[in-house]
Structure 1
Amino acid sequence: MEFLKSAVASAIAKGSSLPFSLGDRVDIGDSIWTLHNGTKRDDSSACSVFTFDIAANKSRLPLAKNAVRKSRTLRHPGVIKVLDTIETETNLYIVTERVAPLAWQTKRRSLSEETAKWGLYTISSTLKFVNEDASSVHGAVRASSIYTSESGEWKLGGFDILSSMKEDDAIIYVSLLVPKTLELDENTDIRQTYGSLVPDGGRYTPPEVAKGGWDVIKRHPLAAVDAYGLGVLIYEVFNGNFSGGDQVGKTTNIPPSMHQSYKRLCTANPKLRLSPGHFLEQGKKHGGFFQTPLIRMSEDVESLGLKSDAEREQFINELDELADDFPEDFFKMKVLPELLKSVEFGGGGPKVLGATLKIGSKLSADEFNAKLTPVIVRLFSNPDRALRVCLLDNLPSMIDNLPQKVVNDKIFPPMTSGFTDVAPVVREQTVKAVLTVINKLSDRVINGELLKFLARTANDEQPGIRTNTTICLGKIAKNIGQSTRSKVLIAAFTRAIRDPFVHARNAGLLALGATVEFFTDDDCASKVLPAICPALLDKEKLVRDQANKTLDLYLQRVRKTASTMADTVLPPPSTAPQPQKSDVQIGTSNDKSWAGWAISSFTNKIAAADGDIAPTATATKPSEPEIPRPTSLPRPEKSSPSAQLGLPRQQPLRPVAQPLGRSLSDRPATAVPEPVEDDGEDVFDAWGAMDDDEGEVDPFTAAVATPKSESPAPSASRSPAVPYDDGGEPDFAGWLAAKSQAKTKNPLPKGLHKASSTNTVPTRAAPKPRAVAPAKKIDIKPKDEVQDDDWGDAWD
């Protein structure tokens, strides 16, 4: 039946013009009121609605009207906050802040000792106000009259018989109105008052009232009735249930520090009872039962913004000491807003901010976004470095509650100022914070702004920041775009390997080992492995050991790839007969020594130079070209009588191939042929081309470099090469002279030019067409001293 009435009342409220809508019914035990969770229509905020059905409880209507009237006028932090009161022909409504019955927690005995003391401290303070300041008697102090707010604070309610002792017609001791036409029988108690209409009043009524009625309160101390009720409440809080007067004064489960004061509250003589005000004073004495961190914090939090730095620091220290079983709702609803005010406007500093974020970590995502996110966004733009460092340190605890759009658009832009801050600690914490926010940044931000700032910190003057940047890049490698990932990582990590700071080098090797999967096989072989090798002989064993481990990873990768490659990409050799090679060779193709191929190539060129003879021009007989020869040989006769008579001609003289045992200095000098354009690229140019990084802009450094306009470099004109003087070796000098003439337009690459010296043979001018080049004079006189040719200086 009660459920049906509640459903009907709820339906009426939802369909009416009331400023609230009723929700679920809340069980509050024996009461003349029905409690519902409600929602305000104007702002959709949560509220509670106490409803009284006039038709069902007409005899107790004066109690309900008294509660409505007292709720409007009584204002105190320990009293339920009333938002509105509404009276209709059928119902009375009291709209309050969202509350829940304390009886739920007392019956489950879920209250910790610290929380129970804090709640009793609040009720004692409220009763002191009611008794002393308002000169009133509550008359129904018990667990069913206490409620807890959303902040976990205990609130006093149940004002059905709340009466001011200054009023002559106070409802607590006014007799029931009996109609004159009603005939009273002998069992009717004409002394019955409205105070006795409170549900379940028999268990909680003080002894003097039970004997002499509510009128006796006029002859006793004003606070005696409420003091007795406070003692009963203490027993219920620590024991969970109260069955009757025989339990009053028992100290079961009650903290020992409260025993003496608790017994004085429950004494049978009302004149000897300890008033709620005196009970409060005894608890607040030095070492008293109300001297707890939670109670001190609840008193100080209201004036946190007005405290000095020392007082604020003491408050935060006590806040950090609070155990996890303290009421979280109180921290969320009361402490957190005051802390936020102190941080943003009261100069609370990083310590207050740390406590704020610690409490904020216990909020749900919706609560966090409503209460903390706007403040955090504003604090990231605060110029106070200590606050920003504190925010960066606590980012891991709050990043899950921050939406991605807020992080990307509102938090990261002001956060980037930390990359260029003059304080090293700010730069370092900003680099570390990248790992926290990376998953909430867009690809455009990661591959644009973020890499530019990391390129700056990779060259930071602080070695620790450089090291952390390398570690950071290794951990966010998977988030970098594929188009720039390998270039950026290779440039950053290979630079780190060359860092003078030992831990930076070690971090570079560790990062290369962790990111091996992101590089191609060619990059591993041509760029990464050459960069790792110098670290194998690092001065620090830490670096050498890590270099060996990283090298093994890349060697395994390269060897695995090489095992799947074809043996060769060259076409199969043709079956056509090969031209006969000259017998003048030192090395052969079958020579397996490390320099066999080089010596073979060298001698082949000498043999080719000996066999090629350029024809000369003759004015009278163009069909008989003059054979070029060395000047040291006798000139042959031009014609003989036998030749004119048709006899067989003698063969022209040709240089005879020198035996291998002959000294090179005894061989005749060869003639210099006419210069021929070499279509192939010079061999030294190929060495230069292998260094593909020469002149290339480092992609990681280019990310932050200021773009400069570059004009195309003019083509460098090649200067004729200077032949090398071998110091008396005629054939080698002649070969070099011929080589220098043939390669006039293809000089040696930069770095291989040899400075001219007094021993250098000057370059000869190119001979005229079809003219015999003059032979080089051979100086066979031994040198007095060996000259240093400086051949390898350019490689140093």
Structure 2
Amino acid sequence: MDFLKSAVASAIAKGSSFPVSLGDRVDIGDSIWTLHNGTRREDGSACSVFTFDIAANKSRLPLAKNAVRKSRTLRHPGVIKVLDTIENETNLYIVTERVVPLEWHVKRRSLSEETAKWGIYTVSSTLKFINEDASSVHGAVRASSVYTSESGEWKLGGFDILSSMKEDDAIIYTYGSLVPDAARFTPPEVVKGGWDAIKRHPLAAVDAYGLGILIFEVFNGSFSGGDQVGKTTNIPPSMQQSYKRLCTANPKLRLSPAHFVEQGKKHGGFFQTSLIRLTEDMESLGLKDDAEREEFINELDNLSDDFPEDFFKMKVLPELLKSVEFGGGGPKVLSATLKIGSKLSADEFNAKLTPVIVRLFGNPDRALRVCLLDNLPLMIDNLPQKIVNDKIFPQMTSGFTDIAPVVREQTVKAVLSVVGKLSDRVINGELLKFLARTANDEQPGIRTNTTICLGKIAKNLGESTRSKVLIAAFTRSIRDPFVHARNAGLLALSATIDTFTDEDCAGKILPAICPALLDKEKLVRDQANKTLELYIQRVRKFGSTMADTVLQPPTSSTSEANKSDARIGNSNDKSWAGWAISSFTNKLAAADGEIAPTAVPSKQSEDIPRPASVPRPTTSSPSIQSQPANKTLRPAAHPLSRSQSDRPVPVVQDEWHDAEEGDDVFDAWGAIEDDDDDDKGVDPFTAAVTSPNPSSPDPTATKASAVPYDDGGEPDFAGWLAAKNQAKTKNPLPKGLTKSTPAAKTVAKPRVVAPVKKIDTKPKDEDEDDGWGDAWD
């Protein structure tokens, strides 16, 4: 039957003329009222609706009507805010702000001590107002009469028997006992003498007793009866003495709610908490001076996370925003504002904070700008991408060129927070231009942070510009005079190694890292070694996957391939110059055959193609025998100032030694200069070149000519040079290269003919001529 009546009442409430739409029913325990969540039709705001069914509780109708009347007239921050009251023949309605029964939190024991003290302080202050200012008695103070608002504040309700003691026919005298479960909460003097006993005792005695029961319920979760009154179980030690005085059996000795608040507010009292002080200072925040505002912010920072978040969202945050935007709250108030705002949902943040933040970014106050940039990580997740890209970032860009270094530095740091919500056009256009400026900033810290910033946003850069920009920025940073900038460049290269191609790693980055290996700072040297090792490992790994060669396989015959291999040296030769030496000696080995003893070269021999390193054939002397060309020739060192063709070649009879045998190359080159012939007055070059004619009457010359010069089978380059010089209109050797002897002065110098060497006339491939010997022409 009760369900049917409730359904009918709900149907009536849902009529088009009813200003509120009823929602879910809320359980509030023993009460003459039924609580529903509701929505106001005029603006869609949330509300609560207390409904009283007249037919079902006709005997308690006076209590309901008294509650409606008192709710309209009683106004206090600690009292439930009434939006509207509706009366008809079947129901009474009290439309209030959205509230939740305090009993929900009490039974779950979900209230922290600080929150409980804050709530008890609010209820005590409200009772002080009712008792002293309104000269009234609530009469039903308990947990079921207290509610919490959306902001987490405790609100006093249950005005069923609220009565003014100035009225002779106050409802509390007649209907006080009709309150549900009155016997459990009634004070001892009322139990003995009835509600008229209120007239004979202090006005606040009844409500003080109820306040003591409320305190017990809050800290213990429930209250079973009078035997628990005054027990200090779970009551904070600082509050126990005053709590006992609230619950004393003698009403004249009880501590009134006003005195209870006064004792709690004393220095070191139980109501001296950060949350309570914050509540009291909130409304006057805009009127405080700098010192008072500083103290307020310090109190705000001391609040722990177990304080009611709803209170900060609904009450503290709006006041802080007003103070920041209009009251000169400054950076500290803004920091507190953003800290609270980080706990808002995305919708709440956009509704309450986003418009203010956008306006603050346009504020010329540098302190506010720096504070906003510093706190961007706390709010960036709640800011829409379009707002960041179109409204916030354009105002941030002025910070890149600000004259204050701290603004420039914080702007660079803030890039890491906003880059994820910027478009590609903005990142690869405007942002990189501004970062290019800060990379050359006069402040070394800003240059360092720019390098770090680029390293962290590398993945956000476009593929077409990423490698080019990062290599230029990081390699420049490695050369920075500031040690931490150099270290940051190396760290950034290590972190972004996957960004670069293998060719860039080997050709651009490794050469830039190497100078840092000898940096004056050990910090940089150590990091350079680590970074270098990373890049070397990557380059080696890539090199191991490359093909052995990109040359096309040979298509000529096997003999030509073998001949080509002979010219370029053996690929198995491991000496550093083995291929070059082999190429030189194999040219000589390729000139097979004997030297023809003809005096004048034939036309056919002149037309035969020859390598540049083979001398032009001349007439040969009959006394000179052809020698087999089967040994290697050791080249001599020549002055750099003379051309190769005008330089005589000394003939040294010792053979070339393989480089792997460990001979010192520089000692071998110096042996020519220390020849013992110099000490005898005979130049080794002249001795080889000016061989006398066998027909000379000089016995010394005859003896010398009897045995032709034998260099072990190699071509007579010395003789060839002498003949060539004779052919050039007797052009002598340069001054100082030859030494004249007495015997040489008396002997006419005959024409010396060099032997002719047969040359392989088979044409060679063009790629076989590697240019060796061209200088000998």
What is the TM-score of this pair, normalised by structure 2? Answer: 0.72
Structure 1 residues not aligned, in runs of 5+: 174-192, 582-586, 605-658, 671-773, 784-796
Is 1:268 equivalent to 2:259 in the alignment? no
- For the structure 1 residues 661 and 537, does the alpha-carbon distance in structure 2 shift closer, same or farther, using more than 3 Å as the test? closer
Q: Which deviates more from structure 2 when the two are superposed, residues 278-287 or residues 2-11? A: 2-11
Counterpart in the other structure of 1:47:
47
Q: Does the 8 A contact of 2:400 with 2:438 survive in 1? A: yes
- For the structure 1 residues 567 and 257, does the alpha-carbon distance in structure 2 shift closer, same or farther, using more than 3 Å as the test? closer
Q: CA deviation at 1:776?
A: 14
Q: Which deviates more from structure 2 when the two are superposed, residues 435-444 or residues 212-221? A: 212-221
Question: CA offsets, 1:564-590, max 9 Å, x none?
Answer: 3333333344537989x9xxxxx9754
What is the TM-score of this pair, normalised by structure 1? Answer: 0.71
Q: Does the 8 A contact of 1:10 with 1:23 survive in 2? A: no
SS at match of 1:148: strand
Distance 2:454 2:221 in 1: 59
SS at match of 1:221: coil
- For the structure 1 residues 259 and 538, does the alpha-carbon distance in structure 2 shift closer, same or farther, using more than 3 Å as the test? closer
Is 1:152 equivalent to 2:152 in the alignment? yes
SS at match of 1:172: helix
Is 1:204 equivalent to 2:190 in the alignment? no
Is 1:512 equivalent to 2:490 in the alignment? no
Is 1:302 equivalent to 2:283 in the alignment? yes
Q: CA deviation at 1:155?
A: 0.8
Q: CA deviation at 1:495?
A: 1.0
Distance 1:567 1:276 in 2: 96
Q: Does the 8 A contact of 1:669 with 1:775 survive in 2? A: no
Q: CA deviation at 1:515?
A: 1.6
Q: Does the 8 A contact of 1:669 with 1:776 survive in 2? A: no
Counterpart in the other structure of 1:489:
470
AA of the residue aligned to 1:67? A
AA of the residue aligned to 1:512? L
Distance 1:202 1:661 in 2: 129
- For the structure 1 residues 259 and 520, does the alpha-carbon distance in structure 2 shift closer, same or farther, using more than 3 Å as the test? closer
**Structural mapping, 1:549-698, within 5 Å:** 549-573=530-554, 575=556, 589-590=568-569, 594=577
Is 1:397 equivalent to 2:339 in the alignment? no
- For the structure 1 residues 594 and 81, does the alpha-carbon distance in structure 2 shift closer, same or farther, using more than 3 Å as the test? same
Of 468, 471, 474, 2:452 maps to: 471
Question: CA offsets, 1:529-586, max 9 Å, x none?
Answer: 222222222222322232232222222322333333333333344537989x9xxxxx
Distance 2:388 2:276 in 1: 37
Counterpart in the other structure of 2:481:
500
Distance 1:352 1:390 in 2: 10
Counterpart in the other structure of 2:64:
64
Distance 1:222 1:318 in 2: 36
Counterpart in the other structure of 2:78:
78
Counterpart in the other structure of 1:433:
414
Q: Does the 8 A contact of 2:569 with 2:582 survive in 1? A: no
Of 424, 433, 436, 1:443 maps to: 424
Q: Does the 8 A contact of 2:79 with 2:155 survive in 1? A: yes
- For the structure 1 residues 104 and 483, does the alpha-carbon distance in structure 2 shift closer, same or farther, using more than 3 Å as the test? same
Q: Does the 8 A contact of 2:101 with 2:146 survive in 1? A: yes
- For the structure 1 residues 663 and 333, does the alpha-carbon distance in structure 2 shift closer, same or farther, using more than 3 Å as the test? closer
- For the structure 1 residues 780 and 98, does the alpha-carbon distance in structure 2 shift closer, same or farther, using more than 3 Å as the test? same
Q: CA deviation at 1:166?
A: 2.1
Q: CA deviation at 1:482?
A: 0.7
Q: CA deviation at 1:30?
A: 0.9
Question: CA offsets, 1:490-525, max 9 Å, x none?
Answer: 111111111111221222122222222222222222
Is 1:293 equivalent to 2:280 in the alignment? no
Aligned length: 603
Counterpart in the other structure of 1:327:
308
SS at match of 2:286: helix
- For the structure 1 residues 569 and 318, does the alpha-carbon distance in structure 2 shift closer, same or farther, using more than 3 Å as the test? same
- For the structure 1 residues 301 and 780, does the alpha-carbon distance in structure 2 shift closer, same or farther, using more than 3 Å as the test? same
Question: CA offsets, 1:151-172, max 9 Å, x none?
Answer: 1111111111111122233222
AA of the residue aligned to 2:349? F
AA of the residue aligned to 1:402? L
Counterpart in the other structure of 1:683:
none
Distance 1:384 1:146 in 2: 45
**Structural mapping, 1:682-761, within 5 Å:** none
Q: CA deviation at 1:216?
A: 2.7
Kindly name which structure, 1 or 2, has the bigger radius of gyration based on alpha carbons: 2
Is 1:119 equivalent to 2:119 in the alignment? yes
**Structural mapping, 1:224-373, within 5 Å:** 224-373=205-354
Is 1:220 equivalent to 2:170 in the alignment? no
Q: CA deviation at 1:403?
A: 2.1
Q: Does the 8 A contact of 1:78 with 1:155 survive in 2? A: yes
SS at match of 1:116: helix
Question: CA offsets, 1:270-309, max 9 Å, x none?
Answer: 3332222222222222222222222111111111111111
Q: Does the 8 A contact of 1:37 with 1:48 survive in 2? A: yes
Counterpart in the other structure of 1:36:
36
SS at match of 2:283: helix
- For the structure 1 residues 421 and 277, does the alpha-carbon distance in structure 2 shift closer, same or farther, using more than 3 Å as the test? same
Q: Does the 8 A contact of 1:493 with 1:512 survive in 2? A: yes
**Structural mapping, 1:769-780, within 5 Å:** 780=734
SS at match of 2:176: helix
AA of the residue aligned to 1:156? L
Distance 2:379 2:638 in 1: 86
Distance 1:510 1:144 in 2: 64
SS at match of 1:37: strand
Q: CA RMSD in A?
A: 3.2
AA of the residue aligned to 1:236? E
SS at match of 2:38: strand
Question: CA offsets, 1:472-499, max 9 Å, x none?
Answer: 1111111111111111111111111111
Counterpart in the other structure of 1:89:
89
SS at match of 1:362: coil
- For the structure 1 residues 663 and 495, does the alpha-carbon distance in structure 2 shift closer, same or farther, using more than 3 Å as the test? closer
**Structural mapping, 1:760-771, within 5 Å:** none
By percentage of residues, which structure has more helix?
2
AA of the residue aligned to 1:128? K
Counterpart in the other structure of 1:380:
361
Distance 2:264 2:545 in 1: 85
Q: Does the 8 A contact of 2:569 with 2:578 survive in 1? A: no
SS at match of 1:110: coil
Question: CA offsets, 1:727-746, max 9 Å, x none?
Answer: xxxxxxxxxxxxxxxxxxxx
SS at match of 1:22: strand
Q: Does the 8 A contact of 2:569 with 2:583 survive in 1? A: no
Distance 1:668 1:201 in 2: 131
Q: Does the 8 A contact of 2:106 with 2:217 survive in 1? A: yes
- For the structure 1 residues 776 and 61, does the alpha-carbon distance in structure 2 shift closer, same or farther, using more than 3 Å as the test? farther
Distance 1:512 1:4 in 2: 76
Distance 1:519 1:194 in 2: 87
Distance 1:405 1:9 in 2: 48
Q: Does the 8 A contact of 1:85 with 1:93 survive in 2? A: yes
- For the structure 1 residues 451 and 364, does the alpha-carbon distance in structure 2 shift closer, same or farther, using more than 3 Å as the test? same
Is 1:460 equivalent to 2:441 in the alignment? yes
Question: CA offsets, 1:129-160, max 9 Å, x none?
Answer: 11111111111111111111111111111111
Distance 1:110 1:146 in 2: 16
Q: CA deviation at 1:81?
A: 0.5
- For the structure 1 residues 4 and 406, does the alpha-carbon distance in structure 2 shift closer, same or farther, using more than 3 Å as the test? farther
SS at match of 1:222: coil
Question: CA offsets, 1:718-770, max 9 Å, x none?
Answer: xxxxxxxxxxxxxxxxxxxxxxxxxxxxxxxxxxxxxxxxxxxxxxxxxxxxx
SS at match of 1:94: strand
- For the structure 1 residues 334 and 593, does the alpha-carbon distance in structure 2 shift closer, same or farther, using more than 3 Å as the test? closer
Counterpart in the other structure of 1:630:
none
Q: Which deviates more from structure 2 when the two are superposed, residues 511-520 or residues 460-469? A: 511-520
Q: CA deviation at 1:2?
A: 4.3
Q: Does the 8 A contact of 2:139 with 2:206 survive in 1? A: yes
- For the structure 1 residues 502 and 776, does the alpha-carbon distance in structure 2 shift closer, same or farther, using more than 3 Å as the test? farther
